[in-house]
Structure 1
């Protein structure tokens, strides 16, 4: 790999997907058989999740886990992430001013490279599984302990069924999901602005009914 970068043959990730056997066999100690095997391994994975695809571009201080937070917040396509503002990103779980700005700048600086990689048709982004459109147009925020799933799994269910998960009680939030009746700040804010407050069981019933 170092030889490829040193030779200038590979300067960005998209270049990897345009390599030919002849490009590798010209390198020191690489025969045609080894070159073919290397390319077969590279092209073996045809489809990957969006979070893994974006995370693979090595955004500074932004790993796949943080990208997954963005995806689970409803930005589940490359274009949706591209259209997200810094203000939008600040609302994502574990994001704050510095992380949101860094993600925004890093993503936009590499967006063209991402597009080039996809245009090779050697790699595609796996579409998120859509269970239904039962939650289409609705936003959900989960707070407190969940009994049957993790917070990430709950957010994933929202996205899979057409809804949009939110990290906080934002304006026009459709539902606050909680198993507690304790009047926390989120509970009171949701109640005050007219968001519906439901239990985890009621949330699951919305999907399963």
Structure 2
């Protein structure tokens, strides 16, 4: 998720966007819960490594999400969202979310997670705005991926994020990624700012159930 949209709002997370589902409104009322959990080992060149994580629970259009070390180190956040999806040749899914963060930073957050897919190409964007609290100014976090699947189990492409979690002068991080999926397990590698003093590598491992 890149060009103009990426430069306008590029986040903090390294999660594979789920393929857009059929229109959730058309699903039966008794649709089952689905869950996913993903851990990320972040390796900024100029600071210490750390672990972050995301847990998602969905039932029909209802979206629940919890995060750790996402908006800031030593912080936790929780969100409530509602999903809209559809399309055949071009599939899409959009989930407005609202929540709050506490810990080393705190405040109310509003955001959007969205994806669009066409054949082997897909684009995913996740953006959220942290409401200013006290001396802290408001801030727009964002994560963006443009992906391609040459074969079903391999996804690769370009990635960008806008975050202040790493410190330094560079808010906008850009690079590449690849992911490998075996059944319900996805492993990935993201490399931001390759070759620079501010490069960041991220290993991810996720499972859906």
Q: Structure 2 length as normaliser, TM-score?
A: 0.21
Higher helix proportion (structure 1 or 2): 1
In terms of Rg, which structure is larger?
1
Ranked by relative contact order (alpha carbons within 8 Å, sequence separation 6 or more), the top structure is 2
Where is the strand percentage greater, Structure 1 or Structure 2? 2
Q: Give the TM-score of the pair, scaled to structure 1.
A: 0.21
